[in-house]
Structure 1
């Protein structure tokens, strides 16, 4: 194995040896503790240390790295305290994730490391967002993100590479090709000759290297960094290596031919680098023994101290409190002036106001720049705020949501427009597993708002008319809002863009140009999590949101003989349970109305909560009025029959007669 030490001093070469040996010895200790039952799981990187260590050494300490679960060398080379790392692996409250995450599924802002999630691919586009933030700030920094050869089969890999290439982002995509995705060999993962071929389709520079050669990794990453910053373009590196142990220890390696294991054992990155240092006279048996002894003693002492830590005690209040990052308080005041706006114009006004309020707010979405968005909501914003902040995106919802999280890591805010709420399914994983959980996992906020034009009644058929808010109200860590009036559309959007947590902002397409109302001038956010009493009544309480508010109001006008109490939830997660309880107490009869389908709709959750907490206030069974359990049909008569509005009279009359 040839080592090119050009421009690397003797002192650096020895430092590199300490850096690559340390994670190997830590791993050997962890494997011993695993057998003793003192840690519960381990993903071994033995045989792959040169990639993690070499890549980390080539970057500046304040350049972000997004590692995987066998990149211990990233964490140790960034000098993360072993004591705290060990507490993390034990699931201790004193670890990096307070016992909420395993092994390396965590991050540290202090060390510029972003924690992975088990769905491998999503971190690739998070790297895009971090790099975009550097670009917007005029900073000459790269972002490096790891994936494995198996991860290159995921759609997120292709989306992330495409976005990085189209936007000219200085990202280094580093593929650790270790031959197996758990037990699946590369022959069953891809058909290209080498993974660097995948870069060709994106017009991306690529390099293939020996991942077991520490200096080759270091030099190549340094070269890639210089290129990415000079050209403002991404780079793909494929590092060939091998995993000498199972995917995780319980998996074993029986599926690997013994001859292949023996072949790669002869290519051990530490042994080869050690031999090189012997050859040039920097190491001998005595020095090697001394370094090993010194590191082992430190590891043993550190682990011994960490094993004496207090056993974790669950605190329910703390667990619930850490679901969300603290949001700024909303101070209510009366508006000096208002203006009459349509629902759609109120949303546009909210975006404009927020862009003026937050210079770090970036808007992203398909066709939102010159074209002004599918519904023209962002029309004119490009001219006022520029292409850097009002960004057309490729057709890749998942990668753009991931990029929004990357921007948030760097202190930016982002608004992502889905052309239709239906299309959010293409970004579902990023929302429910990455955005929603990241604050609970390691304290990182996700300052991302996703706007979702939703709902039927406009003859748009099954793929442009869904009310899919209930997909997300089940996910802790998200906030979900659904305004029904221009004033609420404006105020809730300002609050959503202020909030450091991920907010899904549903806007009903049928309301865009059909309703108008007074909207305050200036900065008037509406607190997320607070319902609005639309109309007081004494006969029946209708708990609803979105289009349901207008169906209820229309019905009340047409039936003055009934006194209807109408509560607009406005926020669907978290729910305003105090307002719900008051509505139940007001009349004793409750109808929950929503456009979403009946089964699995939010009405079922609200009904269960009322039955559990307000049963004594009820004078009749709780009723739900919802749309049919079918896809949304296209033909006008079929859609009319589908919508909950067609059954509203029947439900109210049945409840009134009880």
Structure 2
């Protein structure tokens, strides 16, 4: 049982005067803030981070354009949050588990997910690891230890606690990082996850991307407290707030968080203060809830511009390298998109696999019924589905009709 000091006066405590500072290393011009120290980040890893940031930005720009052209149904951009996502992913072991919300494609890019793999998922073709069952941007990769994204908000947060508990029992020195926005932190799953993590002392890093908006709801209308970070104290959890547009600060904070998580089995909450420069999704119009002036002010804090300035000061990057990288990535994105668009959809039979070891009779009956339906109305379905059986005899039509009238 928790013991506390006694008092004999009814004095209420308030957190109104309490504010958590924001850890920062890099100024926007690439110089270090007074008193700040660079993390232990060598040239190879720094360039890997930067190139992943550029690749993510190029992918986002091209795929949003593809959605506007009607070539893709849906997309969500990471634009403006690349330092928060990629800087934190770079501080992990490549075998640590990543549980993402939906705006963390940069972490996959850093770990080596190719444009082909991105495109196969976005277009749901036969090479998509998810077999076309998910909407676009719901990536997953077993080999890169990136749990498949699910649409319901915040479900990944308690799942991360459970997964990290398994890592603790396995004793292999690994942890889980789970990403979410400040809006998701208002879900009950957030509180349940933090409580479980501290009670069971599991190696998990809760990484909140506080980008100012839960779709159209500004953070000032979401909570009265000083952001999300102070909630950690209610669970006796270690916490740090960091400038989410400062890749060096994010990297060092996550390094330290991982040490606490893996060596001491102490869960950690990181709140990265950043900004979503893009719309919430391709279905959103941010002009309805925020001003152009606000967006431009944050565009001046672009995390990619800041890191590039630091790299140039270090002598690790220059304009020629930048142009060559941009040109190559843009060409690669266009080439891979064209390939992905031409690939057929997954085989229809894959709809009923991966649920049970063997396809159950009920699922097989449903699949057979679906095939008959597609054969009867081929014009309503894409080429891949119509190719089931282009020619049906009169007897087939009679058999199909009888089955659809209750034969099953």
TM score, norm. by length of structure 1: 0.49
Q: In the alignment, does 2:258 pair up with 1:214?
A: no
Uncovered stretches (5+) of structure 2, i.e. residues with no partner: 1-26, 364-402
Asked whether the equivalents of residues 149 and 177 of structure 1 are also in contact (C-alpha less than 8 Å), the reply is: yes
| 1:250 Cα deviation after fit | 2.2
- Alignment match of 2:331 (pick from 297, 301, 321): 297
Partners of 1:68 and 1:104 within 8 A in 2: no
Q: Deviations over 1:520-552 (max 9, x none)?
A: xxxxxxxxx99xxxxxxxxxxxxxxxxxxxxxx
- 1:41-60 to structure 2, matched below 5 A, reads 41-60=74-93
Q: CA deviation at 1:612?
A: 4.1
For 1:259 and 1:38, locate their aligned partners in 2 and report how far apart those are by CA, in whole Å: 31
For residues 313 and 11 of structure 1, the distance between their equivalents in structure 2, rounded to whole angstroms, comes to: 38
Partner of 1:159: 192
Residue in 1 aligned with 2:357?
326
Identify which of structures 1 and 2 has the higher relative contact order when contacts are C-alpha pairs closer than 8 Å and 6+ apart: 2
Change (3 A) 1:168 1:308: same
Q: Tell me if the contact between 2:203 and 2:261 (Cα under 8 Å) persists in the aligned partners.
A: yes
Structure 2 residue 120 is the aligned partner of structure 1 residue 109: no
How much has 1:139 moved relative to structure 2? 1.7
Q: Is the 8 A contact 1:245 1:252 kept in 2?
A: no
More displaced stretch, 278-287 vs 36-45: 278-287
Structure 1 residue 36, shift from structure 2 partner: 1.8
Matched ranges for 1:425-464 at <5 A: none
What CA deviation, in whole Å up to 9, does each residue of 1:415-463 have, x standing for no partner?
Answer: xxxxxxxxxxxxxxxxxxxxxxxxxxxxxxxxxxxxxxxxxxxxxxxxx
Q: Distance in 1 between matches of 2:121 and 2:228?
A: 34
Deviation at 1:304, TM superposition (A): 2.8
Stretches of structure 1 lacking an aligned partner (at least 5 in a row)? 328-476, 478-528, 531-572, 575-608, 615-658
Residue matched to 2:225:
192
5 Å matches for 1:412-427? none
Whole-angstrom CA distance in 2 between matches of 1:138 and 1:282: 38
Residue 641 of structure 1 corresponds to: none
CA shift in 2, pair 1:283/1:320, >3 Å: closer
- Give the 3-state SS of the residue equivalent to 2:248 in structure 1: helix
Q: What is the distance in 2 between the residues matched to 1:321 and 1:19?
A: 34
Deviation string, structure 1 residues 484-527 (Cα, Å, up to 9, x no partner)? xxxxxxxxxxxxxxxxxxxxxxxxxxxxxxxxxxxxxxxxxxxx
2: CA distance between counterparts of 1:176 and 1:19? 18
Task: State how far apart, in whole Å, the 2-side matches of 1:88 and 1:244 are.
Answer: 24
Once the two structures are superposed, what CA deviation does each residue of 1:598-635 show, in whole Å capped at 9, x if it has no partner? Answer: xxxxxxxxxxx9x9459xxxxxxxxxxxxxxxxxxxxx
Aligned twin of 1:18: 51
Provide the secondary structure at the position in 2 that maps to 1:238.
strand
User: 2:201 maps to which residue?
Assistant: 168
Cα deviation, residue 16, structure 1: 2.1
1: CA distance between counterparts of 2:135 and 2:211? 22
User: What is the number of equivalent residue pairs in this alignment?
Assistant: 337
Q: What is the deviation of 1:103?
A: 2.3
Among 93, 96, 121, which residue is 2:126 paired with?
93
Instruction: Please tell me whether residue 37 in structure 1 is matched to residue 37 in structure 2.
Output: no
Distance 2:407 2:328 in 1: 62
Deviations 1:388-415 (A, max 9, x none): xxxxxxxxxxxxxxxxxxxxxxxxxxxx
Structure 1 residue aligned with 2:321? 287
Q: Where does residue 366 of structure 2 map in the other structure?
A: none
The offset of 1:21, in angstroms, is: 1.1
Measure how far apart 1:261 and its partner are: 0.6
For the aligned residue pairs, the C-alpha RMSD in angstroms reads: 2.5
Deviation of residue 111 (structure 1)? Answer: 1.1
| Superposition deviation, residue 298 in structure 1 | 2.4
Post-superposition offset of 1:68 = 1.8
1:180 alignment partner in structure 2: 213
Alpha-carbon distance in 2 for matches of 1:257, 1:179:
13
CA distance in 1, matches of 2:347, 2:285: 33
3-state DSSP class of the match of 1:224? helix
Does the CA contact (< 8 Å) of 2:154 and 2:184 recur in 1? Answer: yes
| Aligned residues of 1:85 and 1:96 also touching (Cα < 8 A) | no
Q: State the 1:302 CA deviation.
A: 2.3
**C-alpha distance 227-86 of structure 1, shift in aligned 2 (>3 A):** same
Shift in Å at residue 216 of structure 1?
Answer: 1.1
Which protein is bigger by CA-based radius of gyration? 1
Instruction: Give, in angstroms, the shift of residue 287 of structure 1.
Output: 2.1
Q: Kindly indicate whether the alpha-carbon contact (under 8 Å) linking 1:171 and 1:234 is maintained by their aligned counterparts in 2.
A: yes
- Matched position secondary structure for 1:146: strand
In the alignment, the residues of structure 1 paired with residue 158 and residue 43 of structure 2 have an alpha-carbon distance, to the nearest angstrom, of 38
In structure 2, which of residues 242, 262, 266 is the aligned counterpart of residue 233 of structure 1? 266
Q: Which protein has the bigger helix share?
A: 2
- Work out which of the residue numbers 302, 305, 308 in structure 2 matches 1:268: 302
Q: CA deviation at 1:180?
A: 0.5
Deviation for aligned residue 1:313: 6.4
**Where in structure 2 are the equivalents of 1:568-607 lying within 5 Å?**
none
What is the SS of the residue equivalent to 1:132? helix
Name the residue aligned to 1:422: none
Q: Verify: 1:148 aligned to 2:181, yes or no.
A: yes
* Structure 1 Cα separation of the partners of residues 119 and 173 of structure 2: 34
The DSSP-based 3-state class of the residue aligned with 1:275 is helix
Aligned to 2:172: 139
Task: Give the secondary-structure state (helix, strand or coil) at the position aligned to 2:272.
Answer: strand
Is the CA contact (8 Å cut-off) linking 1:104 and 1:115 kept in structure 2? no
CA contact (8 A) 1:49 1:269 kept: yes
